[in-house]
Structure 1
Amino acid sequence: MNWLDIGALDDIPRRGARVVKTAHGCVAIFRTGDDRVFAIDDRCPHKGGPLSEGIVHGHMVTCPLHNRVFALETGLAQGADAGAVTTYPARIEGGRILLDARRLLRGRAA
């Protein structure tokens, strides 16, 4: 993988998010309460809500527009006919958040 440094882990508060703009759209980077990071499309497939503005709980995020809950690890929404968002590989190295740049270029973001 070709990792892209997008910033310091400490730049994102616990249970918070930041947005990375790409040529394909925006990707939301989440930091959980246990200091793990996850990257998913920032746009909810249901009503287009900005997931980066949602509530992070455990390894889930709740859309701010209509309360649909997405698993940060898989991108899958809970419930029948719930949909999904694209996920992107992310990791922490030396206190920095890294994203797989090749996957960002190949994948479709919000």
Structure 2
Amino acid sequence: MSWTDIGTLNDIPLRGSRIVKTAVGCIAVFRTAEAEVFATSNKCAHKGGPLSEGIVHDRKITCPLHNWIFSLETGEAQGADQGQITTYPVKIENGRLLLDFDAVIAKVA
């Protein structure tokens, strides 16, 4: 694993998100109400909506375009919707957010 510092936990508001731009596309990093963090692709599996602009609730994200709901843990669509978004390993160490860039590159290759 290649953990790369992408900022601080406080850079993301509770129930909010931020985008990390990479050479292989944008990754959305989400913070739940319980201050957990998750990283996923920024594009909805349905119509490519910007998930970083969606609503974070529990451990889920609702796409702002058509209200599809995805698990931030697994990337799977919830309810009757079918599809999946890519998830990436992210962790918090000493208040810093670390993203595994090896996984980012591997999932694109």
TM superposition score category, shorter chain reference: over 0.9
TM-score (norm 1): 0.94
Contact 2:68–2:81 (CA under 8 A) maintained in structure 1? no
TM-score (norm 2): 0.95
Q: How many residues align?
A: 108
SS at match of 1:52: helix
Measured after TM superposition, the shift of residue 16 of structure 1 is: 0.2
Q: Residue 45 of structure 1 aligns with which residue?
A: 45
- Partner letter of residue 7 of structure 1? G
| Distance in structure 2 (CA, Å) of the matches to 1:91 and 1:66 | 29
Q: Which runs of 5 or more structure 1 residues have no equivalent in the other structure?
A: none
Q: Which runs of 5 or more structure 2 residues have no equivalent in the other structure?
A: none
Q: Residue 24 of structure 1 aligns with which residue?
A: 24
How much is the aligned-residue C-alpha RMSD, in angstroms? 0.9
| Distance in structure 1 (CA, Å) of the matches to 2:75 and 2:90 | 13
Regions of 4+ moved over 3 Å: none
Measured after TM superposition, the shift of residue 79 of structure 1 is: 2.8
- Partner letter of residue 54 of structure 2? G
